Amino acid sequence: MGVTTSALALVKEVAIAAHAPRFLYLRWPFGHALGEPGNIAQQRAVLHDMLSMATSAPRPGLVVDLPYKWRREKYPSVIDWGTPGDAVVSQLSLLSPQDRGEKS
């Protein structure tokens, strides 16, 4: 029985070459895939993005490029965990209709 997967990546080319179902790429240092120590809002934001990718990625093999700058970003509290996060939604909206799996 298959299991839905959602993965974080810190090296973009490797994520693309891995051809995994769902990847979220962060421009953050090694050892910091979820962010800064003690920054709970940041860690929850990343988890929200992973969960958003799990619920709303339209097809396999996508690598969403998260825009968060290292140590220079503020993370608002996640209000609605049922709604996909803004970063994931805006990245997915950049796909062509074909990429989204819709008929063009």
Partner 1 sequence: MDTSSKKTGATSRSAATTTSSRGPARTHIGWLKELWVRFLSNTEFGAAVGHFASRAIALPQLRRLAVGAIPWTPLRKPLSECTVVLVSTGGVHLRSDRPFNLNSDSSFRVIPNDAQAEDLAISHQAYDRTDALKDINLVFPIERLRELAAEHVIGRLAANHYGFGLMGSAKRLMPSLKEVARRISESGVDLALLVPA
Total binding residues for partner 1 by CB under 8 A? Answer: 47
Determine which residue in the list 44, 73, 95, 99 makes contact with partner 1, applying CB under 8 A: 44
Q: What is the dihedral of CA 34, 15, 58, 60, to 10 degrees?
A: -130
Alpha-carbon distance of 79 to 2, in angstroms, equals 30
Side chain identity at 104, as an amino acid letter? S
Burial of 93 (0-12, 13-18, 19+ CB in 10 A): exposed
Q: Per rule CB under 8 A, is residue 89 in the interface with partner 1? A: no
Determine which residue in the list 69, 72, 82, 96 makes contact with partner 1, applying CB under 8 A: 82
In the complex, what is the shortest distance from the CB of residue 36 to partner 1, in angstroms, rounded to a whole number?
A: 7
Provide the binding-site residues for partner 1, judged by CB under 8 A.
Answer: 1-11, 13-14, 17-21, 29-41, 43-44, 47, 50-51, 54-55, 59-61, 76-79, 81-82
